[in-house]
Amino acid sequence: MPDKPGIKKFFNQIVDALLPLLGLVLALLIGAVMLLALDASPLKAYAAMLDGAVGNISGITQTLVKATPLLLVGLGVVIAFRGGVTNIGGEGQLTVGALATTAVAIGFGALPGWILLPASLLAGTLAGAAWGGVPGVLKSRFGVNEILGTVMMNAIALQLSNFLLRGVMIDPAEIERGTQIAQSALLPEQTWLARLVPRTLLHSGAILAVVMAVLVYIFLWRTTIGYRIRAVGLNPDASRYAGIRVPFYQALSLILGGAFAGLAGAVEVLGVQHRMLEGLSGGYGFSGIVAALFGKLHPLGAIPASVLFGGLLVGGNKMQRVVQVPSSLIDAMLGLVVLFVVSADIWSRRRARRREINE
Amino acid sequence: MNRLFTLPVLLGILYSGIRLATPYLYAAIGETFSQRSGVLNLGVDGIMLMGAYSGFYVAQKSGNLWVGLLAAAVVGLLMGLLMAFVSVTLQATQGISGIGLYLFGLGLSTLLFKTTLGGVESINGFQPVKIPLLGDIPYLGDVLFNHNLLVYGAFLLVPLAWWVMNKTTFGLKVRAVGQNPQAADTLGVNVNRIRYTTVCLGGMLAGIAGASLSIALINLFQEDMTNGMGFIAVALVYFGSWRPVGVLGGALLFSFVNALQLWIQVLGIPLPSDIAVMMPYILTILALTVSVNRTQKPAALTKPYQRGES
């Protein structure tokens, strides 16, 4: 090849990175057809969506608030998928993370913030790790498929949350008033994450998430353990021959995946809701997968991807108000984006193969 | 606890367990074919939701339950076709594309529910049909032979699936394609056609599974009404070691424990309902952990096939 390989490689990377955007455009087009079928103007709908997501300070901060848990869950998904395991337990891991954070923040409410806040975050992270660890150990020790394990743990987490929120963890005020809404008491104020922009919900958890993305990048590409996780994901057989304990690293990637989903739950409680309530996970466990995938399963790629999908979710609410089309249209489109992005991989792979043949 | 071990209650548990197993059986038997041919369809839950919605909507509009069932089957088949195109032709990573299909089905069924139905309404679904003679057996007759047609269908599907899988050429091809696609291809089996067939079949059965909820068992449609049942169905396929009979065992175990916990709540036995609801899930995990998994999964599961690759 006469031209410089560096430029060519760079060009190829650009094309690979742009393919997901193409998938998004295609999904938006199909969404437009659905909008037309529902007698709504796609232009008006998408304009409302854009306006809702980035039209003003409140929209932008809302987008970033939604992007935060997406990014954290997405990072967990990146680690798990890089390790060759399918973690669909994000919902459950996030839920138990939020529960544990709430329990610690309320249970030790007398402690000062500088110790209680990190302790609460840590509790959520550890609970998530444990929830991911169960399917991890089941897989490595007993050969139980991790899809099965994570699905079951999701269902169990949901019931556990209902049980605790209607029982021991319920807000005493709810019992007094007799309303019995299944939510915990408000967390002590010293555990609330600092607001970044006054009078908005944007909190310091967003910064934490970005820092975590960088750390995950360093972890996966600059440490031995990270290298082994990726090796196991790329080729378990070769890894085994190279002496890497494959089951251990598979379990580890599920544990780490759970830890990040748990942290997402912790941050959602400490930063946004300031209490644990039913339905807190709000589908982040699944949409985090979309964000991770859209970022090409790269921790840094997950940052813009999460912001994009955070914007879609926030904009979807505005769209619902303006053109009266349920925001579940956005969920359907998220699904299509996933389908298109994973399908587009075939072209990336084909070009990669062609390059190999040429070289 | 004494209240639990009376004959009427035990028969009640048996009766509810059989009913509850129905959607799992349709979805999991379909998924068994799909996985046996090497394709993991993780989007079953999304297909079930679309099947439940379209079955309900069409049955309500046409006034004919069978037309509704047909609509659910067709919609399921189309969703299966989409999955097959993405995972067989475009060779997409199956675990993830299934999640895409799930989100798509969840979003679209909710969207359609909110725009076309607006609220939860109920429908007069399939009624129990008592089988002559067998239905007159004391005690067991009512429990086993007084169900609606979709329940019978689910249980008849098991021996049928066993027969197709193990005694027909098609079944042999399915197993060959899932175990060693290269060898099957060499012998003239069209790998991709078999996989399209099984994934579409799985989609169709998942659609029927959804309809069995909305027009035969619960008789209404609401947003996200499957509540993750499709994922459980996928899990049951692993549980049943990719054999129809094993899937039946798993579905019955799961459903009987589920029926048991429902009756525990009905009888007011002091066990928190949320904890009771957890039981089937915990038990499934435990059962998997202690049972040594003798059978290997289909060797080519989740691996797209491309000619000319070793």
Domain residue ranges in chain A: 41-324
- Of A288-292, B8-12, B202-206, B296-300, the range with the highest mean pLDDT is B202-206
Is the confidence at residue A343, as pLDDT, over 90?
no
Q: Give the CATH number of the domain where residue B37 resides.
A: 1.10.3470
Interface of B with A in 30-69 (CB under 8 A): 40, 42, 46
Q: What is the dihedral of CA B111, B117, B118, B120, to 10 degrees?
A: -110
Which chain A residue lies closest to B50 (C-alpha atoms)? Answer: A332
Which chain B residue lies closest to A159 (C-alpha atoms)? Answer: B274
Structure confidence at residue B293 (pLDDT): 59
Does B241 contact A at CB distance below 8 Å? no
Assess if residue B137 is contained within a domain: no
Convert the pLDDT of each residue in B234-258 to its tens digit.
Answer: 988 988 889 999 999 999 988 998 8
Assess if residue B303 is contained within a domain: no
User: Which DSSP string corresponds to B197-245?
Assistant: HHHHHHHHHHHHHHHHIIIIIS-B--TTTTTTHHHHHHHHHHHTTT-HH
Convert the pLDDT of each residue in A192-233 to its tens digit.
Answer: 888 888 888 888 999 999 999 999 999 999 999 999 999 999
Assess if residue B310 is contained within a domain: no
Structure confidence at residue B111 (pLDDT): 94
Closest-CA residue to A263 (of A152, A352, A130, A151): A130
Specify whether the CB–CB gap between A78 and A298 falls below 8 A.
Answer: yes
Assess if residue B123 is contained within a domain: yes
Residue B86 has its nearest CB partner, among A155, A332, A343, at A343
How far apart, in whole angstroms, are the C-alpha atoms of residue A27 and residue A342?
13
Convert the pLDDT of each residue in B56-101 to its tens digit.
Answer: 999 999 999 999 999 999 999 999 999 999 999 998 888 888 989 9
Is the confidence at residue A1, as pLDDT, over 50?
no
* Contact between A335 and B281 using a beta-carbon 8 Å cutoff: no
Residue B97 has its nearest CB partner, among A154, A162, A342, at A342
Structure confidence at residue A5 (pLDDT): 62
- Which of the pair, A282 or A317, is modelled with greater confidence? A317
Assess if residue B299 is contained within a domain: no
Helices (H), chain B: 7-36, 44-62, 65-84, 94-112, 140-144, 149-167, 169-179, 181-186, 191-212, 229-239, 244-266, 273-290
How far apart, in whole angstroms, are the C-alpha atoms of residue B174 and residue A189?
60
What 8-state DSSP symbol labels residue A189? G
Closest-CA residue to B219 (of B105, B59, B67): B59
Counting one residue from chain A and one from chain B, the pairs whose CB atoms sit within 8 A come to 153
Structure confidence at residue A215 (pLDDT): 97
Does A13 contact B at CB distance below 8 Å? no
Query: Which tokens is A220 given?
Result: 């996966």
Judge if ipTM > 0.95: no
Is the confidence at residue A237, as pLDDT, over 70?
yes
Assess if residue B254 is contained within a domain: yes
* Contact between B90 and A333 using a beta-carbon 8 Å cutoff: no
How far apart, in whole angstroms, are the C-alpha atoms of residue A197 and residue A271?
13
How far apart, in whole angstroms, are the C-alpha atoms of residue A134 and residue A153?
8
Structure confidence at residue B218 (pLDDT): 92
In this structure, of A348-357, B200-209, B236-245, the range with the lowest mean pLDDT score is A348-357
The SS3 call for residue B138 is: coil
pTM for the model stands at: 0.90
All residues of chain B having their beta carbon less than 8 Å from the beta carbon of residue A290 are 99-100, 103
**Where does the pLDDT of residue B294 fall: very low under 50, low under 70, confident under 90, or very high at 90 and above?**
low
Closest-CA residue to B273 (of A105, A159, A61): A159
Does A208 contact B at CB distance below 8 Å? no
Is the confidence at residue B310, as pLDDT, over 50?
no
* Contact between B100 and A335 using a beta-carbon 8 Å cutoff: yes
- Listed in sequence order, the residues at least 6 apart from B156 whose beta carbon sits closer than 8 Å to its beta carbon are none
What percent of chain A has a predicted confidence (pLDDT) above 90? Answer: 56
Structure confidence at residue B1 (pLDDT): 56
Print the domain residue range for B252. Answer: 7-127+145-290
CATH pick for A41-324 out of 2.40.128, 1.10.3470, 2.40.30, 3.40.50: 1.10.3470
Convert the pLDDT of each residue in A242-294 to its tens digit.
Answer: 999 999 999 999 999 999 999 999 999 999 999 999 888 888 998 898 899 88
Structure confidence at residue A206 (pLDDT): 93
Assess if residue B297 is contained within a domain: no
Give how many domains chain B has, as a whole number: 1
Residue A338 has its nearest CB partner, among B91, B100, B278, at B100
